[in-house]
Structure 1
Amino acid sequence: MTPDAEEPLPELDLRLTEENPEDLYEHAPCGYCSCLPDGTLVKLNATLLGWLGYAREELVARQALAQLLTVGGRLHFETHGTPLLLLRGQVRELSYTLRRKDGTALPVLLSAVLVRDADGTPLVVRVTLFDITERRKYEQELLRTRALAEERGAQLAQANAQLTAQNEQLLRTNADLDSFVYTASHDLKQPIDNMTGLFEEFKRTATFADPEAAGMVGMFAEALQQILGTISGLAEVVQVQRQLEEVAAEAVPLQPLAEEVVRSLQPQATDAGAEFELDFAAAPALRMARPGAQSMFYNLFSNALRYAQPGRRPRVRVSTARAGTSTVLTVQDNGRGIDLERHRRHLFQLFRRFHPEVAGSGVGLYLVHRLVLQAGGRIEVESAVGQGTAFRLYFPA
């Protein structure tokens, strides 16, 4: 024998064995009733009477079980429940709604057993009823929640469809705008070049008696250069965008690319005595389209040279670092700096310039910002007037 089998059983309170069967029937936590094969009620317990609000004499031998059901429930019980009961001798957990004496509804689960006599003739039907009011509330709440979820799902699907259509429209609009800008800049460049040539010839051959003519000629020449710069900037924006669409993203090694861009800027760098410090040890490569990376470096480096502080040797430090799930590319100079309190909101807008005394098109920072966004990144800027600017470009690692 196991040790558990040898342990004495706990003593039982003998009062638990003295339950009155009649009281147990009358006050059970469920409803009991008995009816004849035709449905006439012959016995109901007090629990069921309490639920329904009837006195016993109002129902016994006066009403049938089906009369306590709603019209739909009565039809189902007579066409489905009763035939099944006769065929199988029992039915289990049929969901019905009882009508109380005051007209209110009581949802129940009905189970029944058919008792036959010795000859097999149906004698009595014993019925058990369970109150499922709370269960019904729970089911209705589930249905309501499901309907609400389906409605919101449909709304979300509709919103997604509208968003998709709007995105497609925006893509078409952007493509049309890019084509228009490219065509316009291309078509305008030739007439402006012709005007520039004619103006140069005009300056070479013409003489002016008016002493103010030289200043006006200079202003006209400056205006021509501004127009040429704007046209070139527009063409560059579209050209870079088209290159990004044609070239897939890749892991671009930064050291050789940066050195290549610095060499392309060598004349300006030599004239200014500029120094470039490159340190990509922490993150040697960035994943993006190579033309985009080249344009990004070129615009940041050339801006650092163009906006150098007068009387100060330009120093440009370029480095990478890891920050959580991001790769950070920092380009820091010691140039003129930008008044961020005045210009932060307009920093990356097209054709915005913050040092009018320095020639420029206002395209560089716009392009850099656009390239970083297309690569899934973002830009932070720190700058102080007269001290320099630091651009921190965050890319997904």
Structure 2
Amino acid sequence: MADAPWLTIVGMGEDAPDGLPPASLAALQAAEIVMGPTRHLGLLPDLKAELVAWPVPFADGIAPLLGLRRRRVVVLASGDPFWFGAGRSLARHLAPGEWTALPGPSTFSLVAARMGWALERTECLGLHAAPHARLRPVISAGVRIIVLLRDGAAVRGIAEYLSDAGFGASRMTVFEAVGGPRERRSDCTAAESPDIGFAHPVCAAVELQGDGATLPLTGGRPDAWFDSDGQMTKRPVRALTLSALAPRPFEHLWDIGGGSGSVGIEWLLAHSSVTATTIEPRADRAARIAQNAARLGVDRLTVVQGAAPEALVGRPLPDAVFIGGGLSQALLDWLEAHLPRGVRIVANAVTLESEALLTEARARLGGDLLRIELAQATPLGGRTCWKSSYPVVQLSAVR
């Protein structure tokens, strides 16, 4: 028979532990050591266990915890440890049979119950250690958000961010220590948040109102969302490119020749689980890509300044590759030699020389060639005529 788990992760609220389920109370009473935040340790009744305050930053507590194997240990966490909590950070260091979890009500559940909001129709975000720009993809009039915040100062920060984005009319409800005897509720708008000190733990429920710009949900966002020096896959071609790349959950993209980063950024906007690495040889463009990604809430984009294929060596292998710049026979040969079977490759070409490379690549790899010819209505004197863009040839193949 396998050994019983030596670690129990107990979800705590902000109230006294006599409100905990019997299983959680039993785990505390049987523990030899209890680790957790000081505020949670202060709520505990007299126990036989040794009480250990979890250090700050959080990562500093992992090694001491792992050193307690073969002891009966309880770690206290806020609410549901596996919803923007400590649970995942702990579990990834442990084998499946070493731990068990006893979650409590999450802050999201408590706040939704206070507000009367349907939780399945509410955006739930954790910004403890993340920038306010993570809100950008979900900012739209009528959207409801519950966001966990690092501290009281972050309340003013999120209010200012929403106001600067044109959503100062948004209704905000700030909760402190929700679910406990210190719970306090403050109602305001983002533009007129009260000048008071908010105590940790703190979160905000926001109903967005305003006429600021909203980031569209579909691929092919307007070019104006991306700062650029002109080197960018333009909106209609980008929409076709994202369609060919076909992002799926948990996939990774190599975006070669990033330019403004628009393709890699839109790949990341497709789903919260996908990742991307952008390769860009010019330092100014690499910096601009990082700024675009941060501003649009996908700061998880990895930006590498360098030239392909050299900058690709040692990188996590992708599920899809986009070549938007730097197309060469040497690059194609390297990709064919190093990519595993099943990787999707999409490449765009404008010049006749690049088009010839894609035609030859299709003969080896198979796939589809698409010729994209676009024209836009523009003024000509007092009339209107079509102004054609350079045609783009797109290869879409599977390694």
TM-score (norm 2): 0.21
- Structure label with greater radius of gyration: 1
TM-score (norm 1): 0.21
The structure with higher relative contact order (CA 8 Å, sep 6+) is 2
Name the structure with the higher helix share. 1
